Amino acid sequence: MHELGIMFNVIRTVETFAQQNGVEKIDTLVLLVGELSPVVPHYLEACYPAAVDGTLLQETKLRIEIMPGNALCKPCNLVFNLLENHKLCPQCCKAEWEILSGQEFMIKEILAC
């Protein structure tokens, strides 16, 4: 479980941003996690309270938005969800595709109070 380390990095980044911009309190931290990224949202949520304890984000709510893992099928140009279709194109049943989205992990928004 590497989520705790990731969470510490996120918190450090947000704290630095807050200090540089004179933000004293943050209401909500919004993270964007791709379905295909190795980061597990459930684990992020689980370690969040411990990770923010004693930091600027102690009272900050965590919101995680999921980016669907979509791929473009090269033979037939269909865009489809990789996980829902077990990594096979539902139209031509081929597995020759390129990933369009779903691998991202980023701080999407910091909502001030």
The CA distances from residue 108 to 2, 12, 23, in Å, are: 20, 15, 17
Indicate whether 89 belongs to the interface with Zn ion (CB under 5 A): yes
CA distance 21 to 87: 43
Complex with Zn ion: residue 57 or 73, whichever CB lies closer: 73
Site mask, Zn ion, residues 40-79, x = CB under 5 A? ---------------------------------x--x-x-
**Tokens 């909500």 belong to which residue?**
28
Candidates 36, 64, 92, 107; binder of Zn ion (CB under 5 A) is 92
Contact in structure between 104 and 65 (CB atoms under 8 Å): no
Complex with Zn ion: residue 56 or 76, whichever CB lies closer: 76
**Tokens 């689980």 belong to which residue?**
46
CA distance 84 to 71: 11
Complex with Zn ion: residue 93 or 112, whichever CB lies closer: 93
Binding footprint of Zn ion, residue count (CB under 5 A): 6
Complex with Zn ion: residue 49 or 75, whichever CB lies closer: 75
Contact in structure between 113 and 70 (CB atoms under 8 Å): no
Q: Which stretches of the chain bind Zn ion, using CB under 5 A?
A: 73, 76, 78, 89, 91-92
